[in-house]
Structure 1
Amino acid sequence: SQLADLRALAGDSSQNIGGVPGIGEVTARRLLSQYNSLTELFDSLEQLPAKWRNPLSENRDDAFEYLSRSTIRCDLPLDINWDECLFKGFPVQMTKRIFEQINLGGAETFLRTMGKDVAVEAPCAIPEEALYGQAALEALEKVRTSNQDAAFVWFHDGEKKDWGLSVCLKGGQPFYVDLSSWHTEVAPGLEAPSQEDIWQILKPIFSDAQRIKYVVGVHEIMKNGAEMNNVRDVLLFSALLDINVWEHSIEAICARYGFAIYDRNLILGLNHESFASIPLRGRICWSARVADVLINLGECMYAEIEKRKLDALYRDVEIPLAKLGWNLNNLGVDCDKELTQKIVDLIDSKLEEIKSDFFAEAEVEEFDLDSEEALSHYLFNHLALLVPTRPKNGSILNAEMLKSLQEQNPIVEKIRCYCELSEFKRTFVQEFMIEGHTDVKVGGHLFNLALVSERRLQILGRVSTRGLTELLEHMMAVIDNLACASVRRPLAKAMDDFLRPKGASRLIYIRFPAMCLRFLAYIAKDKVLSEALESGRDVEMELLKKVFGEDLDKIISVRYLFVNMLLFYFSPAWLARRLSLEGEEGLQKAKAYLDKFERTLGEDYPASWDFILRNQAKATAMEEISTFAGRSCRFVEAGSRNYSIRENGERFARAFPVEGGCADIMRLALVKIFETFGTEVSAGSCKNMIIVHAPKGKEADIAEQCRQLCLEAAAEVPLKVEYRIH
């Protein structure tokens, strides 16, 4: 009965019910448990402390409007004419007008591809059977001798093993080559052609500069050593065109551009014991449908690429980076395994310390802190904490849930510290360092700007790594975000030592000191900041000293990160956690620090601060924001009526031109390094530096050449480049 009142106060995930700023879920529940309804709460405002009374009184009208929107009415008469409910085609133009009126700008791409008022998807002719042996080779040979554009869709498992290949010529029907015999025993007559025979036909196709080839990822092409000319990858298109979108699966891309394909799981089914147990018909249906729409989808996306003048960026940067990404696959380094036990001892001692402190404070009989079931019993039964939304991945607890529970009872912080550190040990130390697995990394495309800042720092599950540098980036990102602040610095140092190569290779760490500040000074035309940086002044330290005072020692080791976060993200909760400031008092202190930073930047470097605010205003007005290389997007979240959604949109909009521009320079630098040295070195990006994996004996010359190439990539941007050999 109080659900509508709760949503009116706390808001929900939609843009229609924003809630009262400053009143979260926990506070709203607490107030309603005491005052029963929104009306009674507002009748008793004078009894509330100022921190709740003020935002409530200032947003009274909005709160009752949200209450009205949250209330389900069952007493309204409905006069329904069922004939009017018949489907008569999709009203594209009318829907577009409605979306424009309510600022749903993200629907523009979808509507643009829907065509006229009625858009009907042509049925796909699914192959009745798979092709094997000589018949498969003959079908592929016809594709090779044709001059038509073609689409190629590999059906592979989580380990990137190929189980099938669907091919479709423009204007033709798809066919499916079953490759199951490469990985499992099959009945006589169902053997696939050998991998060598298939790629002897495919390599000339992919190297042909006159024909257009559409693919979903370039992994298979790279894996088999084929040269790529005029290959159009819809995954790279998606990363360029839809920067602020999280989901880049082929199903999500098709949905965004108005092409209907079924979700992979709907066709294949779920809960198969092994990949080989998926019915052949399911594999054919899914991959053939994708191949059938891939050419039209690719043409639609490439037209948008040309419209936004991103075709040169795709050709000259993204495709070479894809090749570089493949070179990073399985890149090994002879690590100092003797340090493994020291890292284990460091983590174990900290886990034991957290565990002892927890049980001493909790005053309960000891239980297994590594057991989700035991933990949930303690949290929800013993402490009787309010249960937030259950994680979508099916687990009982996750980081976000523990963070929200921490607001209800501070003892949860110790549980969170223990769980995060234990997960780090299990994932990185046990599986990577001891057992040698390299299947953990941050998700998404290599250097995809959709994964900057906090999005990049999330643990997105166990997927195949693209090499040492991404694994290092993920490890250091997780360490830097551990709730247990006291373990961050020694653990980061131990990990850095562990990744020191032994034997015939060296790591060259190429750094860009004060990169974001230097780029900001350039793009904002801030002469004062430029002169301060060029004079050799440590502007980062100057800003931090003015703001943090006695807390400066807590952030010295990651000062560039703090400057970047303060410049663009301004999250009091993040800063409070990073400085180990607890409770409401700690949050207010963090807000005071952020306000002081804003005032300091505005006073010392007004041109830069004005530039940041202009981009925030552009995002709110739904205008496009662009990076150095021309990547652009609209941050529709910045126009949301929901406070938290709008805040996130504004934060990403502030960061995008500068962080995105820095990423553009680093990407171009990587391409230049790759094209200069080829297979002699492998390079990758990690936070504000580039790591080059070079042969011993040549590291000094390679390091200096790499420094010059980075300066060339920066062009007129006055960046500073340094390196050290590790």
Structure 2
Amino acid sequence: MSKLIVIDGNSVAYRAFYALPLLSNSSGLHTNAVYGFTTMLLKLIEEQKPTHFLVAFDAGKATFRHKDYEQYKGGREKTPPELSEQFPILKQLLGAFGIKQFELEGYEADDIIGTLTKLADDQKLDVLVVTGDKDMLQLASDHVTIALTRKGISEVELYSPAYIKETYGLAPHQIIDLKGLMGDSSDNIPGIPGVGEKTALKLLHQYGSVEAVLENSDELKGKMKERVQSHADDARMSKELATIFRAVPMELSLDEMAFSGYEEEALGQMFQKLEFKSLLDKMELGTGGGAEAADTAIEVSVTVVDSESLDKLASKLQGIRSVYVEAIGDNPHLAEVVGIGLSDGSESYYIAIEDLKLEAAEPIRNWLADADVEKVSYDVHRAEVALHWQGIVLQGCRFDVQLAGYLLDPTEASHSLAAIASRYSFPGLQEDDAVYGKGAKFKLPAVEELAKHLGRKAAYVAKLSPELDKLLDSNDMKSLFHDLELPLSHVLAGMEEQGVKVNADELKRLGKELSERIDELVKQIHELAGGEFNLNSPKQLGEVLFDRLGLPVIKKTKTGYSTDAEVLEKLAPRHEIVRHLLIYRQLAKLQSTYIEGLLKEVREETGKIHTYYKQTIAATGRLSSQYPNLQNIPIRLEEGRKIRKAFVPSEEGWYILAADYSQIELRVLAHISQDEKLMEAFFKEMDIHTKTAMDVFGVAEDEVDANMRRSAKAVNFGIVYGISDYGLSQNLDITRGEAAKFIEQYFAVFQGVRKYMEDIVSSARTDGYVTTLLHRRRYLPEIKASNYNLRSFAERTAMNTPIQGTAADIIKLAMVQVAERLKEEKRRSRMLLQVHDELVFEVPAEELEEMKVLVPDVMENALDLSVPLKADVSFGSNWYEAK
């Protein structure tokens, strides 16, 4: 039996955007609306099993309704750019799903859906309309069900004619009469002033329609009679505006909307681009490189080296230059090393890890550890770390195919070896998923197939290395690669292998302290509530806040009152219980995620946490800490800061020393823009946020209050990240109009910054990319897009990438240079962590004074800027004391 699903694209995207926190991928593209929309699509496909599918969009702002009423939808604020930029991506995603999309100039999605449902009614075809707009209820019929989104978009409520009758006491066609009487502020439909839903329903239950209410207005009394009679024309017009037009001239056949299921490879590639890792894992989607890829692979002869033939391989090592280490598992510190592939480009060899550990394999291990023997590899950092835990040393790698592929285009969705090979004209290498399977289907193949796969990988590394090195040279990135990124990969591997000592007893003590604080909060909350209840139950919490304590209802869900973070933030000024609840939630998360979570990450044999720094994720060049993420330990709450007390030196009598760049991105902005006012602030060592407040508000230094400085700080950092008026309004809890005015005032004062923003966008449009001061490149093909939203996103990215990317490059330079100094001077001090703009060390007492000078000296001179770099240094017996 045929079933058509039609989605109101704009309505559902808007609801998804506001229901989910702002998410973005490593390219900086916001993805929360697309992610929410995607989860809805997957749920609909699974539960409803449609045979036909369509998503309808509004084609533009002006529709035929504006001809009759210019103020139609006039009260709506401009769509936030964080949402606008997601519409083109959403439409690409629908293409990957194989779902038809449609829009028509002059008409709204409502009208397209209304026309389709009329046709479906005529053909007795079952239709499910998914929307967040109650106006659509007028379309319900025996064959058309309206699914209204609830809880953002995670749930829907199904409205049939019977359910509409039960809920409102109206037939579907009377929904337009309801809107005619009560109006709709979201669409700027006036209705009759003073008539809300309750009054409108009462009138309709009595008279049946707008026209009948107007005809019988003499029966009404007092002010209601006066309002109805004086706004009769508004009511008629409002009903007309709310009426969905069901005769849109569209040539769209049912066959064009046919849906036979999504194509896994296309959807998998889209999810990779958007970095929807949880969906990729959950759905076990493939991303190409199956058996058909193997057919076009480069011919490689692969020999399996076993315990009997190790000596033969040892005699051939002189001609081998490529090493590929296969470590299974996301975290290289816990990965299972199954073996290595070695190659000269045409002849390859495979050795299982157990054979590599044999006494007879010592010459091969020595060759791997020889720093003077030049080798090439893929993901050298991961390979070094994984082999380290097997007691095997890897040194001498002079090229890394993954790092090179990432630098040549950091915005690519995948930097797997197969993906890089395919991009640079070496097709045919299978992706790991095609060989091993994915998720629950993962299984290592037989030795011959495994050897063939790893041997091929090693050969591809050998062939790709010289080609990618030439491309780095032609793109002016050879120094970035050889002098910064590759040396950094060895520095990171050393830091991670060293690890950071964790005082588990201190963590447990903090956990006990937190538990006591949480218990105390629960007791206070129960006292304020007048009785005990489950704080983690939204239903019980809603009853306490809104029924028992009478707090105003902000929003409702299908199951009752909403008690999400946004609601509690708005209610916090009204009652002490809400302020306690917000603190309770923060502390409960600290307890579960950071106390219990970090305790699980302490390696038993070392007593340390060994995080993993990924170099090839962020398009800006920033490092990403994983397994666990030590860059995310919350420090705004004192209880969060205290977690750093558990990070201690690994040797008795040593200190933790921390050095933190001061406002590095704003200093980079001052250098790049050459803005006189910004530069003046840094030369005079003024507080930059106070200086900005003085200039923007036109006040003296002693007149800058806390709110002025807070606003200035938000706009300073917002400018660096390409903030919009919407983003700034959310940060400062002000209107978008006020935020836009503030941004305009900022640019009026800091004209050098404005000129930089204009010039860099112009340059990006000409070149197709932007670069950091160290020539890290980021391509922006969308900068020339005809689509405004795509183009706007690319323009904001062009503005902030050189700033963020240069700041990332500077701290990486500092890490490499500090490591070199420590080695040259034979220091015992060790670099342990990089957290945003901060470097953390463990230092013996006798080196403390020298390190307090050495570290900031290197950091402040890592790169020569036209304003001084500044690094603040501190120390203590643990990381907490060092801040």
The TM-score, its normalising length taken from structure 1, stands at 0.67
Partner of 2:682: 533
Query: Which digits, 9 at most, give the CA deviation of each residue in 1:440-481, with x for residues without a partner?
Result: 8687328x643678x96xxx9xx545xxxxx54232xxx26x
Contact 1:17 1:69 in 2 (8 A): no
Match of 1:31 among 122, 125, 133: 133
Partner of 1:484: none
What is the rounded CA distance, in whole Å, between the counterparts of 2:56 and 2:763 in structure 1? 22
Partner of 1:204: 367
The answer to whether 1:260 aligns with 2:434 is no
1:605 to 1:572, Cα distance in 2 relative to 1, 3 A: closer
The answer to whether 1:518 aligns with 2:685 is no
| 1:262-301 correspondence runs (5 A) | 262-270=430-438, 279-281=446-448, 283-301=450-468
Query: Which digits, 9 at most, give the CA deviation of each residue in 1:74-104, with x for residues without a partner?
Result: 4679xxxxxxxxxxxxxxxxxxxxxxxxxxx
**Which has the greater radius of gyration?**
2
Match of 1:432 among 578, 595, 598: 598
Partner of 1:115: none
Partner of 2:239: none
Query: Which digits, 9 at most, give the CA deviation of each residue in 1:106-150, with x for residues without a partner?
Result: xxxxxxxxxxxxx99743557788431031x2353244132x543
Contact 1:242 1:633 in 2 (8 A): yes
Match of 2:376 among 187, 207, 213: 213
The answer to whether 1:593 aligns with 2:650 is no
Contact 1:245 1:450 in 2 (8 A): no
What is the rounded CA distance, in whole Å, between the counterparts of 1:578 and 1:530 in structure 2? 26
Contact 1:167 1:176 in 2 (8 A): yes
Match of 2:855 among 702, 706, 710: 706
Match of 1:563 among 712, 716, 739: 716
Contact 2:294 2:430 in 1 (8 A): no
Q: What is the DSSP-based 3-state SS (H/G/I as helix, E as strand, rest coil) of the residue aligned with 1:315?
A: helix
Shift of 1:347: 6.5
What is the rounded CA distance, in whole Å, between the counterparts of 2:495 and 2:251 in structure 1? 54
1:694 to 1:364, Cα distance in 2 relative to 1, 3 A: closer
1:9 to 1:194, Cα distance in 2 relative to 1, 3 A: closer
Contact 1:526 1:607 in 2 (8 A): yes
Contact 2:484 2:812 in 1 (8 A): yes
533-542 or 641-650: bigger deviation: 641-650
What is the rounded CA distance, in whole Å, between the counterparts of 2:470 and 2:494 in structure 1? 30
Choose between structure 1 and 2 for higher RCO, CA contacts under 8 A separated by at least 6 residues.
1
Contact 1:333 1:505 in 2 (8 A): no
The answer to whether 1:505 aligns with 2:654 is yes
Match of 1:144 among 307, 317, 337: 317
1:322 to 1:407, Cα distance in 2 relative to 1, 3 A: same
| 1:315-464 correspondence runs (5 A) | 315-329=482-496, 330-333=498-501, 335=503, 337-338=505-506, 340-346=508-514, 349-350=517-518, 353=521, 366=534, 382-383=559-560, 422-433=588-599, 436-437=602-603, 444-445=614-615, 449-450=618-619, 463-464=626-627
The answer to whether 1:308 aligns with 2:475 is yes
What is the rounded CA distance, in whole Å, between the counterparts of 1:706 and 1:645 in structure 2? 42
Partner of 2:417: 250
Alpha-carbon RMSD across the aligned residues, in angstroms, is: 5.4
| 1:148-227 correspondence runs (5 A) | 149-158=321-330, 159-172=334-347, 174-179=348-353, 182=354, 192-194=355-357, 197-198=360-361, 200-204=363-367, 207=370, 211-221=374-384, 223=388, 226=393
Partner of 1:123: 297
1:19 to 1:319, Cα distance in 2 relative to 1, 3 A: farther
Shift of 1:413: 13
Shift of 1:215: 3.0
Contact 1:206 1:231 in 2 (8 A): no
Shift of 1:547: 7.4
Contact 1:514 1:540 in 2 (8 A): no
What is the rounded CA distance, in whole Å, between the counterparts of 2:844 and 2:602 in structure 1? 22
Q: How many residues align?
A: 605
1:627 to 1:452, Cα distance in 2 relative to 1, 3 A: closer
What is the rounded CA distance, in whole Å, between the counterparts of 1:413 and 1:279 in structure 2? 60
**One-letter amino acid of the counterpart of residue 200, structure 1:** P
Contact 2:631 2:836 in 1 (8 A): yes
Contact 2:472 2:478 in 1 (8 A): yes
Contact 1:206 1:213 in 2 (8 A): no
**One-letter amino acid of the counterpart of residue 163, structure 1:** V
Shift of 1:615: 2.7
Q: What is the DSSP-based 3-state SS (H/G/I as helix, E as strand, rest coil) of the residue aligned with 1:713?
A: coil
Contact 1:150 1:169 in 2 (8 A): yes
The answer to whether 1:675 aligns with 2:820 is yes
Q: What is the DSSP-based 3-state SS (H/G/I as helix, E as strand, rest coil) of the residue aligned with 1:309?
A: coil
Query: Which digits, 9 at most, give the CA deviation of each residue in 1:561-597, with x for residues without a partner?
Result: 8732343231566556655x4xxxx6x35x633640x
Partner of 2:219: none
213-222 or 24-33: bigger deviation: 24-33
Contact 1:351 1:422 in 2 (8 A): no
Match of 2:780 among 623, 632, 635: 635
1:687 to 1:270, Cα distance in 2 relative to 1, 3 A: closer
What is the rounded CA distance, in whole Å, between the counterparts of 2:584 and 2:795 in structure 1? 33
Contact 2:302 2:452 in 1 (8 A): no
The TM-score, its normalising length taken from structure 2, stands at 0.57
Contact 2:356 2:365 in 1 (8 A): no
Q: What is the DSSP-based 3-state SS (H/G/I as helix, E as strand, rest coil) of the residue aligned with 1:698?
A: helix
Contact 1:150 1:214 in 2 (8 A): yes
Shift of 1:245: 4.0
What is the rounded CA distance, in whole Å, between the counterparts of 1:335 and 1:365 in structure 2? 36
Contact 2:526 2:533 in 1 (8 A): no
Shift of 1:526: 1.9
Match of 1:689 among 838, 850, 855: 838
**One-letter amino acid of the counterpart of residue 429, structure 2:** I
Q: What is the DSSP-based 3-state SS (H/G/I as helix, E as strand, rest coil) of the residue aligned with 2:499?
A: coil
Contact 1:620 1:638 in 2 (8 A): yes
1:265 to 1:358, Cα distance in 2 relative to 1, 3 A: farther
Shift of 1:494: 1.5
The answer to whether 1:49 aligns with 2:185 is yes
Contact 2:314 2:363 in 1 (8 A): no
**One-letter amino acid of the counterpart of residue 681, structure 1:** S
Structure 2: 5+ residue runs without aligned partners? 15-32, 39-54, 61-77, 88-108, 111-130, 140-174, 191-243, 258-292, 540-555, 876-881
3-12 or 703-712: bigger deviation: 3-12
Contact 2:500 2:648 in 1 (8 A): no
Query: Which digits, 9 at most, give the CA deviation of each residue in 1:469-518, with x for residues without a partner?
Result: xx54232xxx26xxxxxxx3223432344435583322222232232222
**One-letter amino acid of the counterpart of residue 289, structure 1:** R
The answer to whether 1:657 aligns with 2:802 is yes
Query: Which digits, 9 at most, give the CA deviation of each residue in 1:306-330, with x for residues without a partner?
Result: 1112222222222221121012114
Partner of 1:106: none
Partner of 1:719: 869
What is the rounded CA distance, in whole Å, between the counterparts of 2:458 and 2:704 in structure 1? 57
Shift of 1:674: 0.3
**One-letter amino acid of the counterpart of residue 567, structure 1:** V
